[in-house]
């Protein structure tokens, strides 16, 4: 038997098969070739799983492939060294071959990556984000769409009943209260007129017009019947604690109803839970997302008479009603025209950003069905029919103060925000406009407005193929059901979007699981939702989602920075060592421009700590003013690959020039004999040249770390809007103390290797230098100039490309609505699928 909980459990248990599927014909058969192809692909998957190239997060898979590639490059480099020395079996040749191979291996990569992600996770906890799934760390930087719930995420989750409409009496309004749980605060005003359309603040309650609650209840049986529904069809509890302060337990919607009823001394606890209780609950039909109603049956303790109380979505409740108290005390048939008038009142309340519920009740006569009891309640369909409509109540959940700014920042970051809520379309639209999800609807055409806002019923009418034909997907879906959220995610994925989905209930768990980044609410979320999510927000705040995205982008940027730094060094070392094989001594063996220990020193000591510092870099000022990075491209973009080659080759050429200058320009060109193994007088020039090359490479690696703080901006202008244009670079250098001291330590540790006896000659195969420092300084200036020139060219290139493609920060913000306006302008007729012309 199908149940909603059963389908949720099935979707959460669903796992992908490890075996490749066989593509069968329409009759279910398949040729042996197709079976063989599926078998070969399955074996390939197992091999890839063993090697780690098709398991783990996208970053882990890319790094696994990189490790395999670098391993084979290292093998080739070692073979080249051996071949250049005629495959000599001398110890120094073999060690140098191994060292050359190791120069291609970024030894500190795993350590730095692990520490960077651990620190990123800690930063997220400090910003109210708990990461449950490691893949979400790198996925956050690629998010293009956010599908967010409204209540408690974009809004404060502290609902207040602001207006109640009783057909026979008019509108009751509640003034502003700074404590949503205190029923004694807030002026009460009555108007015989129904509510009018407008904003939530269009008719604020004035204290001077306030009326006492007791006065409003005089000879007002219709209002009392309304209050009984609000109080009893409700499981929330509002009471004073031991300190005399008002507190509440329960769902925010029900708390707001209970507080409103308590203003008139209709608290549920007093009626059905206290010592003088006059009624008792005998049956309950909890809220269901399919029927969108909740009902209870209460029994009078003296007369044993039973009464049904129902609340829920307006459209569903009025369909269950047959009567209405239209004039004072007069119950008449609930005609279609009266239902239309009720819907008009509902739309007026919804236009003020109020969540509107309908309340109804009736006496339950056991002769018309099974008597209600706790042991055997009557069927729900028997209870929720033939009701008497009692009125509407409008609940206001104010937007969080930071939501509007956060949504606007999302737009600037190239991220579209969709609101998926169970509220009425008018309510959803009003709140969406307040938090900048929707533009001013008065300035857009009716067609654009309808495409921006849909109900779940309208959205679900489309097949998958028809959804794919829509020019744009809606920004707001009202009356949203769990299955609608799943379909929205699938529709976005078919458009190559990368989405984050928020949710808090058990019903949200399927959509949280299939979303690229599932985000559960930590305060109001169920355990099932948290278990299905990748990330949990501890404060249930939409702004925290943006914090998580910013942190994900920061981490992605920093991983790019230190991987670029590491691999550029690897390229520089490998090129220096391989080209250096051309330097031959009198015995025909290559004279190595760098000793094996020097190579390992640069790999393990010089690079490791600065790379760790790069992983701790703060976010760039414009990190949320650029489009999301496509996750399929990953770390190794064309820009990173070009930078890697440019920086690596530039470093290698300068290192080789250092060696050449010392040996040939200022030296006698004598490479001596046996200079790879020990120091002698004839090897003095080679040892000095090797020391100069080592110091140059070390300096380049350290300076490159500072240049990598921003991959495009100049080292001297990383903060273009600074008020200190000439000294800002000093603050930027000190801004990351770990990186600063790592670079300083790298400079300091050079000197012991140069000037401590035995250590310099016997271990590092170098000697102390004097005038050669001039070469090092000149090479460092040339290195800095080359990097700055390359960055300058990049800035010009990307600025022109961004202007050509319309991807400036202002354009990114316009893209939030630009797709809708472009579609409207380019298509005078509708392009929507046939049969759905209403949308």
Q: DSSP characters for 344-382?
A: HHHHHHHHTTEEEEEEEEEEE-GGGSPPP-SSSPPPHHH
From the list 682, 666, 651, the residue with the least C-alpha distance to 770 is 666
What SS3 class is residue 443?
helix
Query: Given this model, what pLDDT does residue 835 score?
Result: 41
Kindly tell me if the per-residue pLDDT of 830 is higher than 50.
no
Does 589 or 609 have the greater pLDDT score? 609
Of 668 and 767, more confident: 767
| Residue 299, phi then psi, degrees to nearest 5 | -120, 130
For residues 19 and 41, what is the distance between their CA atoms, to the nearest angstrom? 9
Bridge partner list, 358: 312, 392
Alpha-carbon gap, residue 121 to 646, rounded angstroms: 33
Percent of the chain scored above 90 by pLDDT? 29
pLDDT at 1 over 60: no
DSSP string across 799-819:
HHHHHHHT-SHHHHHHHHHHH
If pLDDT is split at 50, 70 and 90, which confidence band does 490 have? very high
pLDDT at residue 326 greater than cutoff 90: no
Residues 562 and 116 sit within 8 Å (Cβ to Cβ): yes
Q: What's the whole-number mean pLDDT along residues 311-323?
A: 94
536 pLDDT band, cuts 50/70/90, is very high
Please name which of 381, 380, 387 lies closest in space to residue 364, comparing C-alpha atoms.
387
HSE on the CB side for 404, CA within 13 Å?
11
Topology (CATH level 3) of domain 142-154+400-540: Rossmann fold (3.40.50)
Q: Can you tell me which residue has the tokens 């943006």?
A: 546
Question: Which is it for strands 160-166 and 387-396: parallel, antiparallel or unpaired?
Answer: antiparallel
pLDDT level of residue 620 (50, 70, 90 thresholds): confident
As annotated, the residues of the chain forming the CATH 3.40.50.1000 domain(s) are 142-154+400-540
Q: What are 43-47's contacts with CB under 8 Å, separation 24+? A: 45/18, 45/20
**Topology given in CATH for the domain delimited by 160-396:** Calcium-transporting ATPase, cytoplasmic domain N (3.40.1110)
Contact 291, 270 (CB under 8 A): no
116-125, 402-411, 445-454, 593-602: which range is least confident on average?
445-454
Express each pLDDT in 134-148 by its tens digit. 778 778 888 999 998
Find all residues with CB under 8 Å of 369, minimum gap 6, and list them. 378, 382
CA nearest to 155, candidates 355, 362, 368: 355
Q: What is the mean pLDDT of residues 399-407?
A: 90
Q: Tens of pLDDT along 89-120? A: 777 778 778 877 877 777 777 788 888 888 88
Given a cut of 80, whether residue 651 has pLDDT beyond it is yes
218 Cβ contact list (under 8 Å, min separation 6): none
Strands 321-327 and 306-313: unpaired
The DSSP bridge partners found for residue 420 are: 477
| 3-state SS record for 334-350 | CCHHHHHHHHHHHHHHH
> What is the C-alpha separation between 61 and 73, in angstroms, rounded?
19
pLDDT at 188 > cutoff 60: yes
Question: Mapping DSSP to helix (H, G, I), strand (E, B) and coil, where does residue 190 land?
Answer: strand
The pTM (predicted TM-score) of the whole model is 0.78
> Could you tell me the pLDDT band of residue 839, with boundaries at 50, 70 and 90?
very low
Nearest to 744 by CA among 696, 774, 706, 784: 706
- Distance separating alpha carbons of residues 54 and 15, to the nearest angstrom: 17
Name the H helices within 85-209: 91-102, 109-126, 135-139
Q: What pLDDT score was predicted for residue 826?
A: 58
- Half-sphere exposure in the Cβ direction for 328 (13 Å, CA): 7
Q: How many CB atoms lie within 10 A of CB 825?
A: 10
* Distance from C-alpha of 109 to C-alpha of 560, rounded to nearest angstrom: 11
**Tokens standing for residue 592:** 């190595």
Q: What whole-number distance in Å separates Cα of residue 352 and Cα of residue 433?
A: 11
Between CA 389 and CA 407 the distance in angstroms is 39
In this structure, are residues 105 and 529 in contact, taking their beta carbons and an 8 Å threshold?
no
Decide if domain 561-620+640-818 falls under CATH 1.20.1110.10.
Answer: yes
How much is the pLDDT for 556? Answer: 87
**Residue range(s) occupied by CATH 1.20.1110.10 in the chain:** 561-620+640-818
Q: How far is CA 613 from the centre of its chain?
A: 25
Give the pLDDT score at 109.
78
Residues near 577 by beta carbon (within 8 Å), at least 6 away in sequence? 77, 81, 96, 99, 100, 103, 592, 593, 594, 599
What is the average pLDDT across 126-133?
A: 88
Cβ-count burial of 364 within 10 angstroms (0-12 exposed, 13-18 middle, 19+ buried)? Answer: buried
**Confidence band, pLDDT 50/70/90 cuts, at residue 809:** low
Q: Which residue(s) pair with 704 in the sheet?
A: none
Residues sharing a CB contact under 8 Å with residue 285, sequence separation 6 or more, in sequence order: 293, 294, 295, 296, 377, 380, 383, 384
Q: Which residue has the higher pLDDT, 16 or 127?
A: 127
* Percentage above 70 pLDDT, the chain: 86
In this prediction, residue 634 has a pLDDT band, given cuts at 50, 70 and 90, of confident
Whole-number pLDDT of residue 833: 47
User: Residue 27: is its pLDDT beyond 90?
Assistant: no
Taking only the tens place, the pLDDT of each residue in 718-759 is 777 777 777 777 888 888 899 999 999 999 999 999 999 889
Q: Is 37 helix (H, G, I), strand (E, B) or coil?
A: helix
Can you tell me the mean pLDDT for 55-63?
Answer: 67
pLDDT the model gives residue 488: 93
| pLDDT of res. 776 | 95
How far is residue 713 from each of residues 611, 709, 743, 795, 799, measured CA to CA in Å?
A: 19, 9, 20, 7, 12
Task: Name, in order, each residue with C-beta under 8 angstroms of 674's C-beta and a sequence gap of 6 or more.
Answer: 585, 587, 680, 683
User: Quick one: how far is CA 767 from the chain centroid?
Assistant: 54
Closest CA to 103 of 558, 607, 559, 811: 607
User: Is the distance from CB of 455 to CB of 476 less than 8 angstroms?
Assistant: no
Lookup: tokens for 561: 């920075």
H-only helix segments in 386-475: 403-412, 425-434, 446-452, 456-460, 464-469
> How far apart (Å, rounded) are the C-alpha atoms in residues 809 and 827?
27
Phi, psi for 279 (deg, rounded to 5): -135, 160
Q: Is 60 exceeded by the pLDDT of residue 244?
A: yes
Whats the size of the chain, residue-wise? 839
pLDDT in tens, 190-238: 888 888 876 555 555 556 678 888 888 988 899 999 999 999 999 999 9
Residue 136 corresponds to which tokens in the numbers above? 């979400």
What is the 3 state secondary structure string of 238-276?
EEECCCCCEEEECCHHHHHHHHHHHCCCCCHHHHHHCCC
Average pLDDT, the chain: 83
Higher-confidence residue of 391 and 8: namely 391
Q: What is the pLDDT of residues 354-400, one digit of tens each?
A: 999 999 999 987 655 566 666 667 888 889 999 999 999 999 988 88
223-245 in b/e burial notation, b at 16+ Cβ within 10 A? Answer: bebbbbbbbbbbbbbbeeeeeee
319 catalytic per annotation: no
The rounded distance, in Å, linking the Cα atoms of 233 and 295 is 6
CA distance 438 to 157: 20
Residue 187 and residue 175 in contact, taking contact as beta carbons nearer than 8 Å:
yes
Q: What pLDDT score does 811 carry?
A: 59
How large is the average pLDDT for residues 401-411?
A: 90
10 Å CB burial of residue 745 (0-12, 13-18, 19+) is middle
pLDDT for 5: 47
Residue 159's nearest CA partner among 244, 209, 234 is: 234
- The token duo for 767 is 């000697």
* More confident of the two residues 817 and 424: 424
Instruction: Tell me the pLDDT tens digit for each residue of 146-169.
Output: 998 888 888 888 889 999 999 999
Q: Are 186 and 175 in contact (CB under 8 A)?
A: yes
The continuous run of DSSP H or E covering 77 comes out as helix 58-84
- Between 68-82, 413-427, 448-462, the lowest mean confidence (pLDDT) is in 68-82
Among the listed residues 149, 222, 504, 516, the single catalytic one is 149
Place of tokens 């690897």: 570
Of the two residues 669 and 307, the one the predictor is more confident about is 307
């Amino acid at each position: 038997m199908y149940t909603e909980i059963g389908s949720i459990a099935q979707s959460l248990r669903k796992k992908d098969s490890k075996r490749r599927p066989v593509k069968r014909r329409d009759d279910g058969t398949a040729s042996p070739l197709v079976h063989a192809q599926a078998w070969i692909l399955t074996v390939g998957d197992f091999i890839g799983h063993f090697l780690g190239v098709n398991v783990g997060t996208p970053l882990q898979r890319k790094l696994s492939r990189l490790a395999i590639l670098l391993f084979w490059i290292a093998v080739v480099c070692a073979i080249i060294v051996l071949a250049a020395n005629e495959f000599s079996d001398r110890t120094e040749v073999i060690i140098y071959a191994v060292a050359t191979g190791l120069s291609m291996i970024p030894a500190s990569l795993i350590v730095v990556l692990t520490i960077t992600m651990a620190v990123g996770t800690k930063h997220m906890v400090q910003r109210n984000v708990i990461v449950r799934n490691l893949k979400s760390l790198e996925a956050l930087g690629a998010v293009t769409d956010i599908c967010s719930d409204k209540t408690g995420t974009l809004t404060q989750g502290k609902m207040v009943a602001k207006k109640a409409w009783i057909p026979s009496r008019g509108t009751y309004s509640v003034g502003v209260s700074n404590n949503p749980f205190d029923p004694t605060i807030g002026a009460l005003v009555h108007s015989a007129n129904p509510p009018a359309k407008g904003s939530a603040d269009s008719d604020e309650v004035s204290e001077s017009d306030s009326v006492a609650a007791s006065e409003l209840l005089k000879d007002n049986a219709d209002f009392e019947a309304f209050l009984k529904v609000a109080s009893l069809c409700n499981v929330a509890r509002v009471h004073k604690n031991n300190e005399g302060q008002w507190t509440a337990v329960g769902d925010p919607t029900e708390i707001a109803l209970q507080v409103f009823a308590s203003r008139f001394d209709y608290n549920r606890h007093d009626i059905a839970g206290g010592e003088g209780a006059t009624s008792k609950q005998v049956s309950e039909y909890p809220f269901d997302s399919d029927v969108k109603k909740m009902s209870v049956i209460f029994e009078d303790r003296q007369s044993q008479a039973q009464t049904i109380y129902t609340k829920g979505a307006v459209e569903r409740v009025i369909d269950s009603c047959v009567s209405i108290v239209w004039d004072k005390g007069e119950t008449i048939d609930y005609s279609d025209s009266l239902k239309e008038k009720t819907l008009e009142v509902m739309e007026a309340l919804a236009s003020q950003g109020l969540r509107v519920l309908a309340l109804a009740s009736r006496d339950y006569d056991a002769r018309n069905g099974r008597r209600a009891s706790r042991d055997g309640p009557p069927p729900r369909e028997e209870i929720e029919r033939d009701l008497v409509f009692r009125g509407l109540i409008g609940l206001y959940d104010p937007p969080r103060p930071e939501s509007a700014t956060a949504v606007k920042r999302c737009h600037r970051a190239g991220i579209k925000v969709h609101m998926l809520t169970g509220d009425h379309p008018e309510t959803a639209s009003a709140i969406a406009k307040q938090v900048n999800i929707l533009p001013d609807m008065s300035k857009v055409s009716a067609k654009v407005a309808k495409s921006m806002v849909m109900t779940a019923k309208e959205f679900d009418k489309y097949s998958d193929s028809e959804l794919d034909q829509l020019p744009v997907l809606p920004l707001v879906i009202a009356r949203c059901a769990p299955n609608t959220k799943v379909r929205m995610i699938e529709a976005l994925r078919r458009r190559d979007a990368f989405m984050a989905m928020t949710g808090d209930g058990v019903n949200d768990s399927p959509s949280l699981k299939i979303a690229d980044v599932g985000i559960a609410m930590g305060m109001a979320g169920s355990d099932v939702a948290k278990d299905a999510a990748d990330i949990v927000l501890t404060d249930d705040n939409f702004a925290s989602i943006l914090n998580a995205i910013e942190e994900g982008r920061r981490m992605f940027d920093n991983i790019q920075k230190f991987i670029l730094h590491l691999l550029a060094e690897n390229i520089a070392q490998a090129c220096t060592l391989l080209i250096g094989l051309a330097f031959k001594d009198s015995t025909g063996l290559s004279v190595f421009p760098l000793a094996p220990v020097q190579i390992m020193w640069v790999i393990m000591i010089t690079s490791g700590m600065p790379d760790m510092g790069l992983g701790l870099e703060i976010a760039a000022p414009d990190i949320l003013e650029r489009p999301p990075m496509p996750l399929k491209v990953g770390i190794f973009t064309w820009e990173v690959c070009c930078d890697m080659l440019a920086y690596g080759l530039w470093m290698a050429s300068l290192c080789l020039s250092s060696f050449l200058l010392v040996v040939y320009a200022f030296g006698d060109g004598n490479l001596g004999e046996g200079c790879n193994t020990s120091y002698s007088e004839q090897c003095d020039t080679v040892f000095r040249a090797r020391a100069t090359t080592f110091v140059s490479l070390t300096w380049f690696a350290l300076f490159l770390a500072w240049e990598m703080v921003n991959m495009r901006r100049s080292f001297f202008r990383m903060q273009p809007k600074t008020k200190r244009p000439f000294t800002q670079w000093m603050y930027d250098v000190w801004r990351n103390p770990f990186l600063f001291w790592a670079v300083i330590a790298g400079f300091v540790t050079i000197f012991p290797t140069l000037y401590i006896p035995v250590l310099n000659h016997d271990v590092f195969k170098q000697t102390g230098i004097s005038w050669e420092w001039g070469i090092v300084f000149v090479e460092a200036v040339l290195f800095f100039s080359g990097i700055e020139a390359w960055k300058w060219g990049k800035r010009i290139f990307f600025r022109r490309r961004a202007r050509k493609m319309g991807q400036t920060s202002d354009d990114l913000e316009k893209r939030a609505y630009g797709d809708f306006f472009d579609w409207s302008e380019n298509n005078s007729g509708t392009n929507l699928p046939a049969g759905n012309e209403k949308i």
